[in-house]
Amino acid sequence: MRRTQVQLDEATYKRIRALAYESGHSMAAVIRDLLQQALSAPRGVRARKGRRFSFVGVGRSGQRTISVEHDRALAEDFS
């Protein structure tokens, strides 16, 4: 499994937090489930609903291992 970070607007955060509380699961599990549902839909359905995730890759750092080595990178920046 890969680790990643996302930034959510307040309304989305509250909705996911409420779903997590109601289901007894973590927010990460809820987000994974929601993404899996969105990505499992037939391609035409995703396109019609506007769920193309056009934001993916917007913040490319040019460092191909940053998601794996984020702790080391942060330590270097703050030392």
- pTM equals 0.52
CA gap 37, 34 in Å, rounded: 5
- Token pair recorded at residue 6: 């996302």
Residue 34 located in a structural domain: yes
Q: How many residues does the chain have?
A: 79
Q: How many domains does the chain have?
A: 1
- Token pair recorded at residue 26: 């973590």
Residue 23 located in a structural domain: yes
Q: What is the mean pLDDT of residues 16-35?
A: 94
Per-residue confidence band for 41, with pLDDT thresholds at 50, 70 and 90: confident
Residue 30 located in a structural domain: yes
* SS3 state at 7: coil
Residue 28 located in a structural domain: yes
Q: What is the pLDDT of residues 43-64, one digit of tens each?
A: 765 555 555 666 666 666 666 6
Q: What is the mean pLDDT of residues 9-21?
A: 94
Residue 74 located in a structural domain: no
Residue 66 located in a structural domain: no
pLDDT greater than 70 at residue 35 = yes
Where in the sequence is the domain holding 15, given as residue range(s)?
8-51
Q: Write out 22-53 in H/E/C secondary structure.
A: HHCCCHHHHHHHHHHHHHHCCHHHHHHCCCCC
